[in-house]
Amino acid sequence: MNAGLERLVEIALRDVLDPEIGRSVVDLGLIYAIAATPDGRVSITMTTTTRGCPLAGFLKEAVAMAAGAVEGVTAVEVTLTYEPAWEPAMIAAE
């Protein structure tokens, strides 16, 4: 586990905006988990606002690119899940 790197990745993911809603994937609650190993491999579990979201590929790629740009990250794996299902209550308060 690499908590410092996980935090840096979370900060970087705040720059990834959902094009429909205009808020970050972090603020929307779309990022379920970020795990980093001591050698810099990062795995991210995320969801989209709806199953079959036409932007799923775009968001997954944007998350991978943002995480991969963080200093110390050596590899990124992004997994899409729909368990638990996303709901508006997961959005962070303004």
The pLDDT tens digits for 50-77 are 998 899 999 999 999 999 999 999 999 9
pLDDT of the residue at 93: 83
d(CA 61, CA 42): 14
Q: Choose among 79, 26, 80: nearest CA to 48.
A: 80
Question: Residue written as tokens 């410092």?
Answer: 4
pLDDT of the residue at 80: 96
Compute the mean pLDDT over every residue in the chain, rounded to the nearest whole number.
95
The answer to whether the CB of 71 falls within 8 A of the CB of 86 is: no
Q: Choose among 48, 44, 33, 47: nearest CA to 73.
A: 44
- CATH class for the region spanning 3-89: alpha beta
The answer to whether the CB of 33 falls within 8 A of the CB of 45 is: yes
